[in-house]
Amino acid sequence: MDVAEEIRRLEEEIRRTPYNKATEHHIGRLKAKLARLREEAEKQRRKKSGEAYAIKKEGDATVVLVGYPSVGKSTLLNALTGAKSEVADYAFTTLKPTPGMLEYKGAKIQIIDVPGVIEGASQGRGRGREILSAIRVADLIVIVADVFNVHTIDLVKKELYNAGFRLNEKKPEVYIKKTVTGGINVKTTVKLSLSEETIKSILREYKIHSGEVLIREDVTIDRLIDAILGNRVYVPAITVVNKIDLYPEAEIPKDAIPISAEKRINLDKLVEEIYRKLEFIRVYLKPPGGKVEEEPMILRRGAKVEDVCKRLHRDMVENFKYAKVWGKSVKFDGQRVGLDHVLEDGDIVTIYAK
Ligand SMILES: Nc1nc2c(ncn2[C@@H]2O[C@H](COP(=O)(O)OP(=O)(O)OP(=O)(O)O)[C@@H](O)[C@H]2O)c(=O)[nH]1
């Protein structure tokens, strides 16, 4: 049996098996096997096709518009940025991703439009591989549908899920340290729904027979597999339904924002949501012995001193000695910190280099 056929067989069996305490163990193994085969198939495909477009990230964050053809992605990109992406009323006018820049509250947000996601992209059909590699650069994904194609939201989400993207999901709090001997030792800080046997058999499916496993959430089978594979992309996402001007009564999922790119309806709300979801922080630089600079550097929540260095100069990380920080991220003002130090909004930073 070839890999594709085996994948289909496993999917079918998982669908048919009801989930309960008695079958949990079995389903766990099936899902682990399925994820492993999908990885294998993905590797083979990558060898064949090679990676497509290299997109140059610019600005303070990158937003990628994803959706079926003709829902209005190019129109939206133009409306948000003033960029000139080709618009036409037939499908697939977008041949290359076209970066444009949105400026809001001091942040420069790069917006990229990729060719319409087609069903089967995660299986490498159509231009799928190119699309998915473009989406990988996203700091935020905006799923675009239109009032006549609201159902495509779920199709896009499914494609992205199968391709390893996890939208608006936190990274699983599962930490695995492999050891050479000693068996699997599971430690947990919360009450788990999965049995220890299920957890162990899933680990064994990935050839982990010995190791320390620390679980800090009531993990599901799928999230446990995600943690083991470790290559999932956790990214925030927003959904919009476009062309609301043509059909104002359309039924819109409650977490989606209804907009009209052409008539500029609700775009201010969308921009605000994009800005909020990107979780920007402002960091002020103070050169050694100098005054605090007026213009902040715009970074994302979780940014480290290392990210500041990278923005300043490409050799800065290499020449870094230490930094001093004033503000919320330190215990006392002027505290010395290293590259790994996580900064907070409003911090003042001085970098000392060799
Ligand atoms: N009435 C209305 N029409 C719109 C709106 N947004 C886009 N359109 C029209 O929808 C058609 C498709 O728009 P595009 O922006 O090219 O769609 P796309 O998603 O980029 O399509 P591809 O390039 O094929 O992936 C064009 O005729 C647009 O003028 C809108 O808000 N309202």
Q: What is the rounded CA–CA span in Å between residue 182 and residue 38?
A: 30
Instruction: Give the pLDDT of the chain (354 residues) as one tens digit per residue.
Output: 688 899 999 999 999 999 998 899 999 999 999 999 988 887 777 666 554 555 678 889 999 999 998 999 999 999 999 765 555 554 544 445 556 889 998 899 999 887 655 566 666 555 566 677 778 889 999 999 999 999 999 999 998 998 899 999 999 999 999 999 999 999 999 999 999 999 999 999 999 999 999 999 999 999 999 999 999 999 999 999 999 999 999 999 999 999 999 999 999 999 999 999 999 999 999 999 999 999 999 999 999 999 999 999 889 999 999 999 999 999 999 999 999 999 999 999 999 999
Half-sphere exposure of 320 (CA within 13 A, CB side): 22
Residue 93 alpha carbon, nearest atom of ligand 1: 23
What are the pocket residues of ligand 1 if the criterion is a CB atom closer than 6 Å to any ligand atom? 69-75, 87-89, 91-94, 115-116, 242-243, 245-246, 260-263
pLDDT in tens, 178-229: 999 999 999 999 999 999 999 999 999 999 999 999 999 999 999 999 999 9
| Domains of the chain by start residue, with CATH | 3-50+172-229 (no CATH), 61-169+233-278 (3.40.50.300), 280-353 (3.10.20.30)
Q: Which of 242, 76, 52, 210 is nearest to 131 (CA)?
A: 52
Cα 10 from Cα 124, distance rounded (Å): 19
Please state the pTM of the whole predicted model. Answer: 0.84
Distance 64 CA to ligand 1 centre (A): 16
